[in-house]
A and B are shown apart, each in its own frame.
Chain A
Amino acid sequence: MNDVQMALIYDKYSSAVYRAAFAYCRNAADAEDITQETFIKRFRTDIDFPDDKAEKAWLMKVAANKCKDLFRSARYRYFYNSVPLDEANLVYESPEESTVYHAVMELPPKYRLVIHLYYYEGYSVTETAKIIGRSETAVQTQLYRARKLLKEALGKGMYL
Protein backbone atom coordinates (compact mmCIF):
# COMPACT_ATOMS: atom_id res chain seq x y z
CA MET A 1 0.00 0.00 0.00
CA ASN A 2 1.53 3.31 -0.98
CA ASP A 3 1.32 6.68 0.72
CA VAL A 4 -1.46 7.93 -1.50
CA GLN A 5 -3.62 4.90 -0.83
CA MET A 6 -3.07 5.18 2.89
CA ALA A 7 -3.95 8.88 2.87
CA LEU A 8 -7.12 8.12 0.94
CA ILE A 9 -8.17 5.45 3.41
CA TYR A 10 -7.44 7.71 6.36
CA ASP A 11 -9.28 10.69 4.90
CA LYS A 12 -12.28 8.54 4.01
CA TYR A 13 -12.80 6.86 7.38
CA SER A 14 -10.95 8.81 10.08
CA SER A 15 -13.92 10.94 11.13
CA ALA A 16 -16.14 7.89 11.57
CA VAL A 17 -13.54 6.00 13.56
CA TYR A 18 -12.72 9.03 15.69
CA ARG A 19 -16.37 9.77 16.43
CA ALA A 20 -17.01 6.21 17.55
CA ALA A 21 -13.91 6.29 19.75
CA PHE A 22 -14.96 9.63 21.20
CA ALA A 23 -18.41 8.27 21.96
CA TYR A 24 -16.75 5.51 23.97
CA CYS A 25 -13.91 7.45 25.61
CA ARG A 26 -15.48 10.90 25.94
CA ASN A 27 -12.16 12.67 25.44
CA ALA A 28 -10.13 13.76 22.43
CA ALA A 29 -6.73 12.44 23.53
CA ASP A 30 -7.84 8.83 23.97
CA ALA A 31 -10.06 8.98 20.90
CA GLU A 32 -7.11 10.12 18.78
CA ASP A 33 -4.84 7.44 20.23
CA ILE A 34 -7.41 4.82 19.33
CA THR A 35 -7.86 6.35 15.87
CA GLN A 36 -4.12 6.22 15.27
CA GLU A 37 -3.80 2.63 16.44
CA THR A 38 -6.76 1.58 14.30
CA PHE A 39 -5.31 3.01 11.12
CA ILE A 40 -1.80 1.75 11.84
CA LYS A 41 -3.31 -1.71 12.11
CA ARG A 42 -5.20 -1.17 8.85
CA PHE A 43 -2.08 -0.08 6.99
CA ARG A 44 -0.16 -3.10 8.24
CA THR A 45 -2.89 -5.59 7.45
CA ASP A 46 -3.07 -7.04 3.99
CA ILE A 47 -6.79 -7.40 3.40
CA ASP A 48 -8.80 -6.87 0.26
CA PHE A 49 -12.23 -5.66 1.24
CA PRO A 50 -15.12 -6.37 -1.15
CA ASP A 51 -16.45 -2.82 -0.73
CA ASP A 52 -16.26 0.40 1.32
CA LYS A 53 -18.93 -0.81 3.72
CA ALA A 54 -16.91 -3.87 4.66
CA GLU A 55 -13.73 -1.85 5.11
CA LYS A 56 -15.47 0.67 7.34
CA ALA A 57 -17.07 -2.07 9.43
CA TRP A 58 -13.64 -3.66 9.88
CA LEU A 59 -12.17 -0.36 11.04
CA MET A 60 -15.04 0.19 13.47
CA LYS A 61 -14.56 -3.29 14.88
CA VAL A 62 -10.86 -2.66 15.44
CA ALA A 63 -11.62 0.68 17.07
CA ALA A 64 -14.25 -0.90 19.34
CA ASN A 65 -11.74 -3.52 20.48
CA LYS A 66 -9.11 -0.84 21.10
CA CYS A 67 -11.64 1.08 23.21
CA LYS A 68 -12.32 -1.98 25.34
CA ASP A 69 -8.59 -2.59 25.75
CA LEU A 70 -8.10 0.98 26.91
CA PHE A 71 -10.81 0.65 29.50
CA ARG A 72 -9.23 -2.50 30.83
CA SER A 73 -5.95 -0.69 31.41
CA ALA A 74 -4.81 0.17 34.93
CA ARG A 75 -5.21 3.88 34.34
CA TYR A 76 -8.85 3.58 33.43
CA ARG A 77 -9.62 1.00 36.08
CA TYR A 78 -8.54 3.58 38.58
CA PHE A 79 -9.93 6.71 37.00
CA TYR A 80 -12.52 5.82 34.41
CA ASN A 81 -15.59 6.36 36.48
CA SER A 82 -14.70 10.02 36.81
CA VAL A 83 -13.38 10.83 33.34
CA PRO A 84 -15.28 13.98 32.46
CA LEU A 85 -16.62 14.67 29.00
CA ASP A 86 -14.11 16.64 26.95
CA GLU A 87 -16.27 19.70 26.28
CA ALA A 88 -13.53 21.58 24.44
CA ASN A 89 -14.25 19.63 21.25
CA LEU A 90 -18.02 20.01 21.34
CA VAL A 91 -20.19 22.68 19.77
CA TYR A 92 -23.86 23.02 20.58
CA GLU A 93 -26.23 25.14 18.61
CA SER A 94 -29.19 24.74 20.94
CA PRO A 95 -29.85 23.71 24.54
CA GLU A 96 -31.58 20.58 23.23
CA GLU A 97 -28.42 19.45 21.48
CA SER A 98 -26.46 19.90 24.69
CA THR A 99 -29.06 18.09 26.76
CA VAL A 100 -29.38 15.09 24.47
CA TYR A 101 -25.65 14.81 23.87
CA HIS A 102 -24.88 14.91 27.58
CA ALA A 103 -27.58 12.34 28.27
CA VAL A 104 -26.00 9.95 25.76
CA MET A 105 -22.53 10.64 27.11
CA GLU A 106 -23.68 9.81 30.62
CA LEU A 107 -24.68 6.30 29.60
CA PRO A 108 -22.30 3.47 30.49
CA PRO A 109 -19.57 3.10 27.83
CA LYS A 110 -20.96 -0.08 26.26
CA TYR A 111 -24.39 1.54 25.87
CA ARG A 112 -22.86 4.68 24.38
CA LEU A 113 -21.16 2.64 21.69
CA VAL A 114 -24.25 0.71 20.62
CA ILE A 115 -26.31 3.91 20.64
CA HIS A 116 -23.66 5.57 18.48
CA LEU A 117 -23.38 2.67 16.04
CA TYR A 118 -27.13 2.19 15.79
CA TYR A 119 -28.40 5.77 15.72
CA TYR A 120 -25.45 7.72 14.35
CA GLU A 121 -23.81 5.26 11.96
CA GLY A 122 -27.13 3.66 11.06
CA TYR A 123 -25.96 0.10 11.55
CA SER A 124 -28.57 -2.58 12.04
CA VAL A 125 -28.66 -4.70 15.18
CA THR A 126 -26.94 -7.49 13.25
CA GLU A 127 -24.19 -5.21 11.96
CA THR A 128 -23.72 -3.62 15.38
CA ALA A 129 -23.41 -7.05 16.97
CA LYS A 130 -20.65 -8.01 14.54
CA ILE A 131 -18.76 -4.80 15.20
CA ILE A 132 -18.78 -5.05 18.97
CA GLY A 133 -18.45 -8.82 19.03
CA ARG A 134 -21.65 -9.58 20.90
CA SER A 135 -24.80 -11.50 20.06
CA GLU A 136 -27.79 -9.79 18.46
CA THR A 137 -29.78 -10.48 21.61
CA ALA A 138 -27.15 -8.74 23.71
CA VAL A 139 -27.22 -5.70 21.41
CA GLN A 140 -31.01 -5.55 21.52
CA THR A 141 -30.88 -5.68 25.30
CA GLN A 142 -28.25 -2.96 25.45
CA LEU A 143 -30.27 -0.76 23.11
CA TYR A 144 -33.39 -1.30 25.18
CA ARG A 145 -31.63 -0.44 28.42
CA ALA A 146 -29.89 2.54 26.87
CA ARG A 147 -33.19 3.91 25.61
CA LYS A 148 -34.71 3.38 29.06
CA LEU A 149 -31.91 5.31 30.70
CA LEU A 150 -32.18 8.08 28.12
CA LYS A 151 -35.92 8.25 28.70
CA GLU A 152 -35.34 8.60 32.41
CA ALA A 153 -32.74 11.29 31.86
CA LEU A 154 -34.58 13.27 29.22
CA GLY A 155 -38.24 12.51 29.60
CA LYS A 156 -39.12 11.40 33.07
CA GLY A 157 -38.12 13.77 35.76
CA MET A 158 -36.77 17.25 36.13
CA TYR A 159 -35.78 19.47 33.28
CA LEU A 160 -32.20 20.35 33.95
Chain B
Amino acid sequence: MNMSDYRKVTDRIYPSDKCREEVMNMRSDNKRKKIKHRHTGKAVAAIAVAVVAACGGTVAAAAKLGAFERLSLKNTRTVTNTAGDEFPIDKFDKNDYASIAPAAVDVDDTEPQTNEDITISIESVYCDGQELIFALNGSLNNGNSVGAGYISCRATLYVNGKYQEPINPYGCSFVIDEDEENSFTGSVTYILTGKNKITETSDIELNLAGFNAREKYWTDPLLESEAPVSLRTQVKPNLSLVRDFGENGITAEKDGFYFTVYSISPAMMLCHGGYPESYDIAMQEEIENGTEDGYCHAVHPLVFVFDEDGNYIEGLPMNPIDMPDGELASACVSTDSKTLTIKVGDKNCQSNENGSIEFDDQYGHQSFGYITEFTLDLDE
Protein backbone atom coordinates (compact mmCIF):
# COMPACT_ATOMS: atom_id res chain seq x y z
CA MET B 1 0.00 0.00 0.00
CA ASN B 2 1.30 3.47 -0.78
CA MET B 3 0.17 6.90 -1.82
CA SER B 4 -0.52 5.69 -5.35
CA ASP B 5 -3.57 3.96 -3.86
CA TYR B 6 -4.77 7.35 -2.64
CA ARG B 7 -4.11 8.85 -6.08
CA LYS B 8 -6.03 6.11 -7.85
CA VAL B 9 -9.13 6.61 -5.71
CA THR B 10 -8.90 10.40 -6.03
CA ASP B 11 -8.54 10.16 -9.81
CA ARG B 12 -12.03 8.72 -9.91
CA ILE B 13 -13.62 11.64 -8.08
CA TYR B 14 -15.34 14.28 -10.19
CA PRO B 15 -17.78 17.10 -9.53
CA SER B 16 -21.27 16.43 -10.80
CA ASP B 17 -22.72 17.83 -14.02
CA LYS B 18 -25.13 19.76 -11.86
CA CYS B 19 -22.21 21.54 -10.21
CA ARG B 20 -21.00 22.71 -13.62
CA GLU B 21 -24.47 23.77 -14.61
CA GLU B 22 -24.87 25.83 -11.45
CA VAL B 23 -21.53 27.53 -11.95
CA MET B 24 -22.34 28.36 -15.57
CA ASN B 25 -25.77 29.67 -14.60
CA MET B 26 -24.36 31.91 -11.92
CA ARG B 27 -21.40 33.22 -13.84
CA SER B 28 -23.23 35.99 -15.64
CA ASP B 29 -25.37 37.18 -12.77
CA ASN B 30 -24.76 40.75 -11.75
CA LYS B 31 -25.90 40.00 -8.25
CA ARG B 32 -24.23 37.26 -6.37
CA LYS B 33 -26.74 34.56 -5.59
CA LYS B 34 -26.39 32.81 -2.29
CA ILE B 35 -25.35 29.30 -3.07
CA LYS B 36 -27.82 26.94 -1.51
CA HIS B 37 -26.03 24.47 0.62
CA ARG B 38 -27.34 21.13 -0.48
CA HIS B 39 -27.09 19.52 2.89
CA THR B 40 -29.65 21.92 4.25
CA GLY B 41 -33.12 21.13 3.03
CA LYS B 42 -34.35 22.65 6.27
CA ALA B 43 -32.87 25.20 8.58
CA VAL B 44 -30.51 23.73 11.14
CA ALA B 45 -32.72 24.08 14.18
CA ALA B 46 -31.72 24.24 17.77
CA ILE B 47 -31.64 20.86 19.43
CA ALA B 48 -35.17 19.50 19.30
CA VAL B 49 -36.75 17.85 22.28
CA ALA B 50 -40.37 17.82 21.06
CA VAL B 51 -42.41 14.74 21.63
CA VAL B 52 -43.08 12.94 18.36
CA ALA B 53 -46.31 13.66 16.50
CA ALA B 54 -45.28 12.63 13.04
CA CYS B 55 -47.65 10.86 10.73
CA GLY B 56 -46.81 7.23 10.31
CA GLY B 57 -43.83 7.69 12.55
CA THR B 58 -44.19 4.72 14.79
CA VAL B 59 -40.94 3.98 16.42
CA ALA B 60 -41.84 1.08 18.57
CA ALA B 61 -39.79 -1.93 17.64
CA ALA B 62 -41.68 -3.39 14.74
CA ALA B 63 -40.10 -6.78 15.12
CA LYS B 64 -40.51 -8.98 18.12
CA LEU B 65 -36.77 -9.32 18.45
CA GLY B 66 -34.91 -6.83 20.60
CA ALA B 67 -32.80 -4.18 18.89
CA PHE B 68 -29.46 -5.88 19.47
CA GLU B 69 -30.91 -9.17 18.25
CA ARG B 70 -32.03 -7.40 15.08
CA LEU B 71 -28.54 -5.92 14.76
CA SER B 72 -27.08 -9.37 15.17
CA LEU B 73 -29.26 -10.61 12.32
CA LYS B 74 -28.23 -7.59 10.28
CA ASN B 75 -24.69 -8.92 10.04
CA THR B 76 -26.01 -12.01 8.25
CA ARG B 77 -28.11 -10.08 5.74
CA THR B 78 -26.99 -9.15 2.26
CA VAL B 79 -28.06 -6.95 -0.62
CA THR B 80 -27.24 -7.22 -4.31
CA ASN B 81 -26.23 -4.77 -6.98
CA THR B 82 -27.63 -4.72 -10.50
CA ALA B 83 -25.07 -7.31 -11.55
CA GLY B 84 -26.31 -9.69 -8.88
CA ASP B 85 -23.19 -9.39 -6.74
CA GLU B 86 -23.86 -9.82 -3.03
CA PHE B 87 -22.69 -7.42 -0.35
CA PRO B 88 -23.36 -7.06 3.39
CA ILE B 89 -26.43 -4.93 3.99
CA ASP B 90 -24.23 -2.68 6.10
CA LYS B 91 -20.53 -2.95 5.33
CA PHE B 92 -19.56 -0.27 7.85
CA ASP B 93 -20.65 -2.00 11.07
CA LYS B 94 -18.73 -5.10 12.15
CA ASN B 95 -19.71 -5.25 15.83
CA ASP B 96 -20.38 -8.71 17.19
CA TYR B 97 -23.94 -8.02 18.31
CA ALA B 98 -24.59 -11.63 19.21
CA SER B 99 -22.05 -11.22 22.03
CA ILE B 100 -23.22 -7.73 22.94
CA ALA B 101 -26.96 -8.44 23.06
CA PRO B 102 -27.07 -10.42 26.31
CA ALA B 103 -25.36 -7.58 28.18
CA ALA B 104 -27.50 -4.77 26.75
CA VAL B 105 -30.10 -2.93 28.81
CA ASP B 106 -33.42 -1.76 27.39
CA VAL B 107 -34.18 1.95 27.59
CA ASP B 108 -37.75 2.54 28.71
CA ASP B 109 -37.76 6.14 29.86
CA THR B 110 -36.92 8.00 26.68
CA GLU B 111 -39.48 9.41 24.25
CA PRO B 112 -38.88 9.16 20.52
CA GLN B 113 -37.51 12.37 19.03
CA THR B 114 -38.00 13.78 15.57
CA ASN B 115 -36.99 16.38 13.04
CA GLU B 116 -39.28 16.99 10.08
CA ASP B 117 -38.20 13.87 8.25
CA ILE B 118 -37.20 11.13 10.66
CA THR B 119 -38.16 9.90 14.11
CA ILE B 120 -35.70 8.03 16.29
CA SER B 121 -35.58 6.51 19.72
CA ILE B 122 -32.98 4.69 21.78
CA GLU B 123 -34.21 1.15 22.36
CA SER B 124 -31.28 -0.42 24.11
CA VAL B 125 -27.80 0.41 25.33
CA TYR B 126 -24.67 -1.59 26.01
CA CYS B 127 -22.36 0.10 28.48
CA ASP B 128 -19.43 -1.53 30.22
CA GLY B 129 -17.96 1.80 31.28
CA GLN B 130 -15.54 1.82 28.38
CA GLU B 131 -17.59 0.82 25.37
CA LEU B 132 -20.94 2.50 24.82
CA ILE B 133 -23.10 1.10 22.06
CA PHE B 134 -26.58 2.37 21.25
CA ALA B 135 -29.27 0.35 19.49
CA LEU B 136 -31.75 2.72 17.89
CA ASN B 137 -35.15 2.55 16.24
CA GLY B 138 -35.95 4.81 13.34
CA SER B 139 -38.71 5.52 10.86
CA LEU B 140 -39.21 8.04 8.09
CA ASN B 141 -42.04 10.48 8.68
CA ASN B 142 -43.16 10.11 5.06
CA GLY B 143 -43.89 6.44 5.67
CA ASN B 144 -40.76 5.56 3.69
CA SER B 145 -42.45 6.50 0.45
CA VAL B 146 -38.94 6.81 -1.02
CA GLY B 147 -38.22 3.12 -0.55
CA ALA B 148 -35.11 3.53 1.57
CA GLY B 149 -33.29 0.52 2.96
CA TYR B 150 -30.30 2.22 4.54
CA ILE B 151 -29.88 5.45 6.50
CA SER B 152 -26.62 7.02 7.61
CA CYS B 153 -26.04 10.06 9.76
CA ARG B 154 -23.52 11.87 11.90
CA ALA B 155 -23.49 11.29 15.64
CA THR B 156 -22.32 13.58 18.43
CA LEU B 157 -22.18 12.35 22.01
CA TYR B 158 -22.05 14.14 25.34
CA VAL B 159 -21.58 12.27 28.61
CA ASN B 160 -22.51 14.38 31.63
CA GLY B 161 -22.21 17.39 29.36
CA LYS B 162 -18.72 16.52 28.13
CA TYR B 163 -18.15 16.01 24.41
CA GLN B 164 -16.80 12.58 23.40
CA GLU B 165 -14.75 11.92 20.29
CA PRO B 166 -16.42 9.68 17.73
CA ILE B 167 -14.71 6.37 17.29
CA ASN B 168 -16.45 4.87 14.28
CA PRO B 169 -15.38 6.80 11.18
CA TYR B 170 -18.68 5.96 9.50
CA GLY B 171 -20.90 7.53 12.16
CA CYS B 172 -24.29 5.96 12.75
CA SER B 173 -26.08 3.63 10.33
CA PHE B 174 -29.57 2.16 10.15
CA VAL B 175 -30.89 -0.69 8.03
CA ILE B 176 -34.50 -1.50 7.35
CA ASP B 177 -35.82 -4.33 9.47
CA GLU B 178 -36.45 -7.56 7.66
CA ASP B 179 -39.94 -7.77 6.17
CA GLU B 180 -40.73 -4.22 7.31
CA GLU B 181 -41.54 -1.15 5.23
CA ASN B 182 -40.73 1.69 7.57
CA SER B 183 -38.91 0.36 10.58
CA PHE B 184 -35.16 0.77 10.79
CA THR B 185 -32.64 -0.41 13.35
CA GLY B 186 -29.45 1.50 13.83
CA SER B 187 -26.35 1.54 15.94
CA VAL B 188 -23.52 3.82 16.93
CA THR B 189 -20.44 2.95 19.00
CA TYR B 190 -18.26 5.01 21.29
CA ILE B 191 -15.11 3.96 23.15
CA LEU B 192 -14.30 5.95 26.27
CA THR B 193 -10.84 5.37 27.70
CA GLY B 194 -8.87 6.82 30.57
CA LYS B 195 -10.60 9.72 32.26
CA ASN B 196 -13.57 9.46 29.90
CA LYS B 197 -14.65 6.06 31.21
CA ILE B 198 -18.13 5.93 32.68
CA THR B 199 -17.94 4.65 36.24
CA GLU B 200 -21.41 5.55 37.51
CA THR B 201 -24.87 6.36 36.22
CA SER B 202 -24.40 9.15 33.71
CA ASP B 203 -26.48 11.51 31.61
CA ILE B 204 -26.18 10.86 27.91
CA GLU B 205 -27.02 13.22 25.06
CA LEU B 206 -26.78 11.65 21.62
CA ASN B 207 -27.34 14.04 18.71
CA LEU B 208 -27.87 12.65 15.24
CA ALA B 209 -27.87 14.88 12.17
CA GLY B 210 -27.14 14.91 8.48
CA PHE B 211 -29.39 11.99 7.59
CA ASN B 212 -29.07 10.34 4.19
CA ALA B 213 -31.67 7.73 3.30
CA ARG B 214 -30.68 5.45 0.43
CA GLU B 215 -31.91 2.25 -1.11
CA LYS B 216 -28.56 0.60 -0.39
CA TYR B 217 -25.47 1.97 1.26
CA TRP B 218 -23.78 2.72 -2.08
CA THR B 219 -26.74 4.20 -3.99
CA ASP B 220 -27.63 7.87 -4.32
CA PRO B 221 -29.52 9.54 -1.47
CA LEU B 222 -33.30 9.39 -1.79
CA LEU B 223 -33.84 11.77 1.07
CA GLU B 224 -31.46 14.13 2.83
CA SER B 225 -32.32 15.67 6.15
CA GLU B 226 -29.81 17.89 7.96
CA ALA B 227 -31.71 18.93 11.07
CA PRO B 228 -30.56 17.21 14.28
CA VAL B 229 -32.47 14.77 16.43
CA SER B 230 -31.42 14.85 20.07
CA LEU B 231 -31.81 11.84 22.29
CA ARG B 232 -31.26 11.86 26.02
CA THR B 233 -31.12 9.05 28.50
CA GLN B 234 -29.13 7.77 31.43
CA VAL B 235 -26.76 4.83 31.34
CA LYS B 236 -25.48 2.74 34.18
CA PRO B 237 -22.23 0.97 33.35
CA ASN B 238 -21.78 -2.71 34.04
CA LEU B 239 -18.09 -2.58 34.89
CA SER B 240 -17.93 -6.32 35.55
CA LEU B 241 -18.23 -6.97 31.81
CA VAL B 242 -14.70 -5.75 31.15
CA ARG B 243 -11.63 -7.84 31.70
CA ASP B 244 -9.21 -4.99 32.29
CA PHE B 245 -5.48 -5.66 32.03
CA GLY B 246 -4.55 -2.29 33.49
CA GLU B 247 -3.27 0.95 32.12
CA ASN B 248 -0.30 -0.69 30.39
CA GLY B 249 -2.15 -3.84 29.38
CA ILE B 250 -0.60 -7.27 29.10
CA THR B 251 2.18 -7.65 26.55
CA ALA B 252 4.08 -10.36 24.76
CA GLU B 253 7.09 -9.60 22.65
CA LYS B 254 9.68 -11.28 20.51
CA ASP B 255 12.70 -9.71 18.83
CA GLY B 256 11.20 -6.26 19.10
CA PHE B 257 7.77 -7.30 17.81
CA TYR B 258 5.11 -6.89 20.49
CA PHE B 259 1.42 -7.18 21.12
CA THR B 260 -0.51 -5.63 24.01
CA VAL B 261 -4.07 -6.35 25.09
CA TYR B 262 -5.63 -3.62 27.20
CA SER B 263 -9.06 -5.08 27.79
CA ILE B 264 -11.57 -7.63 26.62
CA SER B 265 -15.32 -7.21 26.89
CA PRO B 266 -18.30 -8.76 25.11
CA ALA B 267 -18.12 -5.82 22.71
CA MET B 268 -14.48 -5.90 21.70
CA MET B 269 -10.83 -6.41 22.50
CA LEU B 270 -8.67 -3.27 22.69
CA CYS B 271 -5.13 -4.00 21.66
CA HIS B 272 -2.01 -2.66 20.07
CA GLY B 273 0.77 -4.34 18.14
CA GLY B 274 4.05 -3.13 16.79
CA TYR B 275 7.40 -3.93 15.28
CA PRO B 276 11.02 -2.84 15.76
CA GLU B 277 11.90 0.75 14.98
CA SER B 278 14.38 -0.39 12.33
CA TYR B 279 11.46 -1.14 10.00
CA ASP B 280 10.08 2.37 10.55
CA ILE B 281 13.46 3.88 9.73
CA ALA B 282 13.80 1.86 6.54
CA MET B 283 10.35 2.84 5.30
CA GLN B 284 10.73 6.48 6.34
CA GLU B 285 14.08 6.73 4.55
CA GLU B 286 12.52 5.48 1.36
CA ILE B 287 9.70 8.00 1.63
CA GLU B 288 12.04 10.90 2.41
CA ASN B 289 14.41 9.91 -0.37
CA GLY B 290 11.58 10.61 -2.75
CA THR B 291 10.70 7.03 -3.52
CA GLU B 292 6.97 7.20 -3.91
CA ASP B 293 6.65 3.45 -3.69
CA GLY B 294 8.52 3.26 -0.41
CA TYR B 295 6.08 0.84 1.07
CA CYS B 296 6.55 -1.48 -1.86
CA HIS B 297 10.27 -1.79 -1.32
CA ALA B 298 10.77 -2.05 2.41
CA VAL B 299 9.53 -5.04 4.37
CA HIS B 300 6.24 -3.88 5.81
CA PRO B 301 5.40 -5.81 8.98
CA LEU B 302 1.84 -6.16 10.12
CA VAL B 303 0.45 -7.94 13.15
CA PHE B 304 -2.36 -10.50 12.86
CA VAL B 305 -4.05 -12.14 15.82
CA PHE B 306 -5.44 -15.66 16.06
CA ASP B 307 -7.29 -17.39 18.88
CA GLU B 308 -6.33 -20.70 20.48
CA ASP B 309 -8.23 -22.57 17.76
CA GLY B 310 -6.29 -20.84 15.01
CA ASN B 311 -9.19 -18.59 13.99
CA TYR B 312 -8.27 -15.11 12.76
CA ILE B 313 -9.64 -12.36 15.02
CA GLU B 314 -10.94 -9.58 12.82
CA GLY B 315 -10.47 -5.91 13.41
CA LEU B 316 -13.35 -3.50 13.85
CA PRO B 317 -13.50 -0.30 11.75
CA MET B 318 -12.62 2.20 14.45
CA ASN B 319 -10.47 5.30 14.60
CA PRO B 320 -7.22 4.84 16.58
CA ILE B 321 -8.07 4.87 20.28
CA ASP B 322 -5.99 6.98 22.65
CA MET B 323 -4.89 4.82 25.55
CA PRO B 324 -3.61 6.08 28.91
CA ASP B 325 -0.14 4.67 28.19
CA GLY B 326 0.12 6.97 25.20
CA GLU B 327 -0.31 4.31 22.56
CA LEU B 328 -3.00 4.18 19.92
CA ALA B 329 -5.06 1.02 20.25
CA SER B 330 -7.18 -0.82 17.75
CA ALA B 331 -10.42 -2.67 18.36
CA CYS B 332 -11.01 -6.28 17.42
CA VAL B 333 -13.88 -8.63 17.75
CA SER B 334 -13.93 -10.04 21.28
CA THR B 335 -12.59 -13.45 22.18
CA ASP B 336 -12.82 -16.01 24.99
CA SER B 337 -9.50 -17.48 24.04
CA LYS B 338 -7.02 -18.08 26.86
CA THR B 339 -4.06 -17.57 24.58
CA LEU B 340 -3.54 -15.53 21.47
CA THR B 341 -1.12 -16.31 18.68
CA ILE B 342 0.32 -13.21 17.15
CA LYS B 343 1.73 -13.68 13.67
CA VAL B 344 3.76 -11.02 11.96
CA GLY B 345 3.55 -10.87 8.22
CA ASP B 346 5.07 -8.79 5.45
CA LYS B 347 2.29 -6.93 3.73
CA ASN B 348 4.41 -6.41 0.64
CA CYS B 349 4.40 -10.05 -0.41
CA GLN B 350 2.07 -13.01 -0.28
CA SER B 351 4.83 -15.39 0.74
CA ASN B 352 8.56 -15.41 1.27
CA GLU B 353 11.35 -17.89 1.98
CA ASN B 354 9.86 -18.44 5.46
CA GLY B 355 6.39 -19.26 4.22
CA SER B 356 3.12 -17.36 4.49
CA ILE B 357 0.38 -16.34 6.89
CA GLU B 358 -3.06 -17.07 5.49
CA PHE B 359 -6.57 -16.38 6.71
CA ASP B 360 -9.99 -15.21 5.51
CA ASP B 361 -11.47 -11.87 6.48
CA GLN B 362 -14.13 -9.47 5.20
CA TYR B 363 -12.05 -8.83 2.07
CA GLY B 364 -11.64 -12.51 1.22
CA HIS B 365 -8.65 -14.79 1.43
CA GLN B 366 -5.47 -13.07 2.59
CA SER B 367 -1.84 -14.19 2.34
CA PHE B 368 1.27 -12.41 3.58
CA GLY B 369 4.94 -13.30 3.77
CA TYR B 370 5.86 -14.86 7.11
CA ILE B 371 8.17 -12.96 9.47
CA THR B 372 7.68 -14.39 12.96
CA GLU B 373 5.10 -15.36 15.58
CA PHE B 374 4.67 -15.56 19.33
CA THR B 375 1.96 -16.17 21.88
CA LEU B 376 0.27 -14.08 24.52
CA ASP B 377 -1.13 -15.88 27.55
CA LEU B 378 -4.18 -14.00 28.74
CA ASP B 379 -4.38 -15.96 31.96
CA GLU B 380 -1.07 -14.65 33.31
Q: Which residues of A contact B (CB under 8 A)?
A: 3, 6-7, 10-11, 14-15, 18-19, 22-23, 27-33, 35-37, 39-40, 43, 75, 78-79, 81-85, 87-102, 104-106, 115-116, 119-120, 147, 151-160
Partner of A18 from the list B19, B273, B320 (CB cut-off 8 Å) is B19
- Contact among A3, A32, A37, A152 for B328, CB-based, below 8 A: A152
Number of A-B contacts (CB under 8 A): 183
Given contacts A15-B13, A100-B3, 12 further A-B contacts (CB under 8 A): A10-B24, A14-B15, A35-B15, A78-B156, A79-B156, A84-B169, A89-B13, A90-B13, A155-B302, A158-B273, A159-B304, A160-B316
Shortest Cβ gap from A117 to chain B (Å)? 12
Residues in chain A near residue B218, CB distance under 8 A: 87-88
22 A-B contacts (beta carbon < 8 Å): A6-B24, A14-B20, A15-B15, A22-B10, A27-B39, A32-B19, A32-B38, A36-B26, A84-B171, A87-B217, A88-B214, A99-B1, A100-B2, A100-B5, A116-B10, A120-B7, A151-B280, A152-B320, A155-B302, A157-B320, A158-B332, A159-B304
Residues of B near A30 (CB, < 8 A) are 37, 39
Query: In the complex the two chains form, what is the Cα distance from A78 to B26 in whole Å?
Result: 30
User: Are B221 and A83 in contact, with the CB atoms below 8 A?
Assistant: no
Once the chains bind, are B39 and A84 in contact (CB under 8 Å)? no
Within 8 A of A (CB), among B260-309: 271-275, 279-280, 283-284, 287, 292, 295, 300-305
Say whether B302 contacts A79, CB under 8 Å: no
Chain B's interface size range is 35 or more
**B239 to chain A: closest CB distance in Å?**
25
Inter-chain CA distance A94–B5, complex, in Å, is: 9
Contacts of B328 in A (CB 8 A): 152, 157
